[in-house]
Structure 1
Amino acid sequence: MTQPFRILIVDDHEHAREAIREILATYENFQIVGEATNGIAAIEMTEQLMPDVILMDINMPKMDGLEATKIIKTKHPYVKIIIITVSDEVTNLFEALKKGAQGYLLKNIDPSSWYDYLQAIADDAVPMSEDLAFRILQEFTSQKEKQTEKNPLSKREQEVLELVAKGYKNKEIATEFQISEYTVKNHLKNILEKLHLQNRVQLTSYAYEHGWIDKK
């Protein structure tokens, strides 16, 4: 049996942490290793516990989840951070993803949906929503100048990047190019490593910023 994914819960509300504990208790391959009530404690506990995944609230005292996400991802880029929020307000979620978070979960969704999403995060298989893709396009459409930098991606990697920017899932990309999902995951892994990025939102933003994707 493989080792369970180690999870750190970060939320200043006890009832919220309790609800998350109850959901995760039903999943054998996810193990809670600690809980924090603010961003500063989250950073300290990440250093101590080295979790695989952090479930991060946004609005907390002392330091919010956005700033904590930025600091943790800078120090520990391998840690996957999922924003846990009661609101699907795209602005905060977009900022969190730009700071390195891998995705987000709404507290009020059906708990049965959590497992598939958490597993997809663990497998690096979560696509962007259409709202986020549109917001990225809007942000870089308004810019007059692009940064210039040589594109290090192969032809196929560039093709994968263009579909990622449109919000395609791994399975849809695989179907488009008649390749396996495993091959798609490898392409994405190589692309992110080449560009030193953490997730699809950062990747899409970077590609628009450098003019590697046409704003159609």
Structure 2
Amino acid sequence: MIRVLIADDHHVVRRGLLFFLKTQKDIEVVGEAKNGIEAVELVETLRPDIVLMDLVMPEMDGIQATKRIKMRWPEVYVLMLTSFSDKDHVLPAIEAGASGYQLKDIEPDELVNSIRQIMRGENTIHPEATTQLEEGLREEENKPHVQNPLTPREQDVLAELTKGKSNREIASSLFVTEKTVKTHISNLFTKLQVQDRTQAALYAVKHGLTEGSGQ
């Protein structure tokens, strides 16, 4: 039996899924959650094989819940079941660890097939979501810091710059001269295609570059 947990804040959606999945001989619905916090709690107590996870829910959304579930119970699969197919939702869901991404207009039989596919270790993503995922990945590849990778030292300087430090403070922190810091900052502006320190700091925050290289 495939043990399924349904996580959705809409009672009607949960009822509909429960009603249909009960007709499947190899599927057992073991619980229902109406938000992400409940989903995490129920995974801990019920240990389902797979969670049908809504994306937008109160208290904790599906992406945060998926991250927590996959961090603590990596063997539990998550299938996103949502109304959103844009890359701003698809990419974070896949990055959070979801094994599948389907839209709520999916045919019931297709949904069951998706559940079975995931249990066989296969990923299953709605065609619309796949298109958005590919576009998002292309955009990622075109970002300045991907096309022009930063050196470890440039990463360190950027991390310090993001903390609002002056050239003198950065030089002191990294045990280099101010002249060296200026050179690195000039290179950073060119590589990241930014005009000043504020833009560089914003870029770093937006793209997760606020940590140094660790070297």
Aligned counterpart, 1:69 = 66
> Which ranges of structure 1 fall in alignment gaps of 5 or more residues?
149-216
Structure 2 vs 1, CA of residues 89 and 74 (structure 1 numbering), >3 Å: closer, same or farther?
Answer: same
Q: CA deviation at 1:146?
A: 7.3
Aligned counterpart, 1:105 = 102
Provide the aligned C-alpha RMSD in A: 1.9
Q: Normalised by the size of structure 2, how large is the TM-score?
A: 0.63
Q: Secondary structure at the match of 1:26?
A: coil
Alpha-carbon deviations, 1:139-158, whole Å to 9, x = none?
Answer: 1331221799xxxxxxxxxx
Aligned counterpart, 1:185 = none
Alpha-carbon deviations, 1:10-63, whole Å to 9, x = none?
Answer: 011100101111221221111100001111111111110011100011111111
Structure 2 vs 1, CA of residues 127 and 133 (structure 1 numbering), >3 Å: closer, same or farther?
Answer: farther
AA of the residue aligned to 1:131: Q
CA contact (8 A) 1:6 1:31 kept: yes
CA contact (8 A) 2:99 2:124 kept: no
Structure ranking higher in helix proportion: 2
Highest RCO, 1 vs 2 (Cα 8 Å, sep ≥ 6): 1
AA of the residue aligned to 1:46: V
Aligned counterpart, 1:159 = none
Aligned counterpart, 1:137 = 138
Larger CA deviation: 62-71 vs 130-139: 130-139
Q: Normalised by the size of structure 1, how large is the TM-score?
A: 0.62
Q: Which has the larger radius of gyration?
A: 2
Matched, 1:92 2:92: no
Alignment: residue pair count: 145
CA contact (8 A) 1:81 1:102 kept: yes
Aligned pairs (5 A) from 1:47-196:
47-126=44-123, 129-142=130-143, 143=146, 144-145=148-149
Alpha-carbon deviations, 1:148-170, whole Å to 9, x = none?
Answer: 9xxxxxxxxxxxxxxxxxxxxxx
